[in-house]
Amino acid sequence: MNKNTAASRAAVIFLSLGFIALAANISNGNISFKKGPDALTSATVKDTGERVTLSGVSGNYTVIVNKDRVPESILGYFSGREKRPVAEIVCHIPKGDQKAREFALQMTDKAVEEDPMLLLSKAEYGEFDILILSKKTADKYTAKSLYDKEFTAVLEITGE
């Protein structure tokens, strides 16, 4: 028997065994060719935060509050349940988000502007107190990644 024939037979045997193993895994449901959600795309993320309508406000905004660093009264103030607290309110807004700036200056004492990507990156690790973003900017930079963090409370604010 020459070397080429032996190699050919070995290749056929390995391919056959591989095909049988693949067929067995498919029939057991271990391998699927269906397109569907995988571990990354099937992760559950809250679709929305608490929806709030405020009078005297124009536009749609997302306010993200770090519950570990901000008193509960601040969250109550932004949701319209409580009067404005006596303490100074400082928030962070994305640079270039004019709508967020207008709303922040209406609701807070000071608005600190930062690069949107840097701001949201720091927010992932809880390095913020209050973030205010226009709805358009929040959608653009996928701020929904912050919705399920244990330390965040999210308000989606709509003006009347």
Say yes or no to pLDDT of 61 above 80.
yes
| pLDDT band at residue 131 using 50, 70 and 90 as cut-offs | very high
Greatest mean pLDDT range, 11-25, 27-41, 69-83:
69-83
pLDDT tens digits for range 75-112: 899 888 899 888 889 999 999 999 999 999 999 999 99
Q: In 3-state terms, what secondary structure has residue 110?
A: strand
Q: Which residues contact 116 (CB under 8 A, 6 or more apart)?
A: 94, 95, 96, 97, 137, 140, 141
| pLDDT band at residue 56 using 50, 70 and 90 as cut-offs | confident
What residue segments make up the domains of the chain, in order of their start? 1-34, 50-159
The pLDDT of residue 20: 65
Q: Does domain 50-159 have CATH number 3.20.20.120?
A: no
Strands 152-159 and 50-54: parallel
The pLDDT of residue 104: 93
Q: Which residue has the higher pLDDT, 27 or 72?
A: 72
pLDDT tens digits for range 105-130: 999 999 999 999 999 999 999 999 99
Say yes or no to pLDDT of 4 above 90.
no
Q: What angle do CA 149, 99, 54 make, to 5 degrees?
A: 70
